[in-house]
Amino acid sequence: SVNYLDAAGKPLDVKSLKQGTEFTAVVTVRNSVEQSFTDLALLQVFPSGWEIFNERLTGTQSAAEAYNYRDIRDDRVLTYFNLGAGQSATFRARLQAAYRGNYYLPAVSCQAMYEPREQAR
């Protein structure tokens, strides 16, 4: 599931963001089968009018998030992690509505890197 929260942690409607609004994308991935998965890739692509705060550069990276590697680029965040049977994992990305305009919000996807049939949107 994907939720967007304002600075106070309250749900936010991203259809009507004001320029300069800072918010957080919260993605929860659930494994509902009795099989563990390794090397999962979570892909979050954001609209071109949003900017991603690179928390590796600011030193505000959350220690609570358990992932193997995170690649933060200009328009996307790729998170690589493992997920045990019946478990869930939650990942956050801090964002800002930097530019005014109308933008498309791409779907979030998660895929087992070496088992391409195992995927979710």
- pLDDT value of position 65: 75
What phi-psi label fits residue 101: left (phi over 0), alpha (psi between -120 and 50 degrees) or beta? left
State the amino acid at position 110 in one-letter form: C
Which pTM was predicted? 0.91
Spell out the per-residue pLDDT of the chain, length 121, in tens. Answer: 999 999 999 999 999 999 999 999 999 999 999 999 999 999 999 999 999 998 766 665 566 678 999 999 999 999 999 999 999 999 999 999 999 999 999 999 999 999 989 998 8
Give the CATH architecture of domain 2-112.
Answer: Sandwich (2.60)
